[in-house]
Structure 1
């Protein structure tokens, strides 16, 4: 019998719960994830999970934000100019396309994905826009990115890149992974060029 313990043993309790949620998504699909199963896989009680998140949807939103944020941090900044900035955006897109959890949401829970594609910005999208806007401002000062409000440019770059990520499977017979990255790079460079 599994012991239900709230002792995190070095790993953050929140990380353990998010890892359990990821495990559930991969095992059952996003629509069949339950808070009880997340708690069981994390080795904690349901009230422990409820103290951090009010429901399963909130846990899944936090999981997606953590996955996107981790990719952004892992890819890291590459320099100040447009070429480095575009290379980072393309690398983030490629990594997100390889993320099982992010792609599971896109492919098995389209109604959830559509909320963040068509209706409102999610936390991870806000984080991406904020990070990109700061880098775009520096690239503008560097002279390699055209004039314009950095947040507006960042939002448009998000739309272009997000579209490439979400629609990549549809155009895979025409644009394989490498070709998609090359074309995304051309699109972003052309958009940002002074």
Structure 2
């Protein structure tokens, strides 16, 4: 059971991060944020440090909070009981990439400070891969028969989804996918390639 002090601490932290998000969007990731966050949140600078930490910790906390919010939304997409495995897989990828492309804080970071954001999709991606697997694996497990589960690892499918998604978010390609329809067609083509029969030798 959550105590009153924990609820209050969470409320303070949320107010600080709300202020931090607006400051980052206005001033950038590398601005001196603590004084502006304190002013905007109504808390003192020592309180900002206490609940969020230094500049790097603020950016990390914002990113982690946005990831957690996103997974709540994605869970509803994955619960569509009327979709088969392929449709649900494609829907999850397309939804996630479109969500990321329209996310102001993420896009500002990728555009202005990729050195701060890209590690979350590359060398520091472990926690997000784990979150992705934890969320998506149970959904995929329900779509497989016991026989299929003996040969297919839903965790591997979840990680594969993350790798496709992260690539589509942070890298440019020769095939353009500027809208949802073109993105969906591209992801479907990737699946067709993945499940092509091997050539005869």
- Which residue does 1:157 correspond to in 2? 161
- 1:39 corresponds in structure 2 to 38
Cα deviation digits, residues 10-61 of structure 1 (max 9, x gap): x922221111111111111112252222222111112222222221211211
Distance 1:148 1:60, change over 3 A: same
Distance 1:97 1:130, change over 3 A: same
- Indicate the SS of the match to 1:31: coil
1:74: Cα distance to partner? 2.3
Structure 1 runs of 4+ off > 6 angstroms? 142-146
Preserved CA contact (<8 Å) 1:136 1:145: no
Counterpart in the other structure of 2:199? none
Give the 3-state SS of the residue equivalent to 1:44 in structure 2: coil
Cα 1:145–1:159 change in 2 (3 A) is: farther
Contiguous gaps of at least 5 residues in structure 2: 1-6, 197-201
Determine helix, strand or coil for the equivalent of 1:51: helix
Q: CA deviation at 1:128?
A: 2.0
With normalisation by structure 2, the TM-score equals 0.75
Match of 1:174 among 173, 176, 181: 176
Aligned pairs (5 A) from 1:71-90: 71-75=70-74, 76=76, 77-79=78-80, 81-82=84-85, 83-90=87-94
CA shift for structure 1 position 122: 5.4
Runs of at least 5 residues in structure 1 that lack an aligned partner in the other structure: 1-7
Preserved CA contact (<8 Å) 1:137 1:150? yes
Separation of aligned partners in 1, 2:101 and 2:149: 26
With over 3 angstroms needed to count, the CA separation of the structure-2 counterparts of 1:188 and 1:91, relative to structure 1, is farther
The number of aligned residues is 183
User: Shift of the alpha carbon at 1:146?
Assistant: 9.6
Deviation at 1:171, TM superposition (A): 4.8
Aligned to 1:3: none
The answer to whether the Cα contact below 8 Å between 2:19 and 2:41 also exists between their aligned partners in 1 is yes
RMSD of Structure 2 on Structure 1 (CA)? 3.1
Q: Per the alignment, do residues 85 and 27 of structure 1 end up closer, same or farther by CA in structure 2, a change over 3 Å counting?
A: same
Tell me the secondary structure at the aligned position of residue 52 of structure 2: coil
In structure 1, the residue matched to 2:61 is: 62
Q: Do 2:13 and 2:52's aligned partners in 1 also have CA atoms closer than 8 Å?
A: no
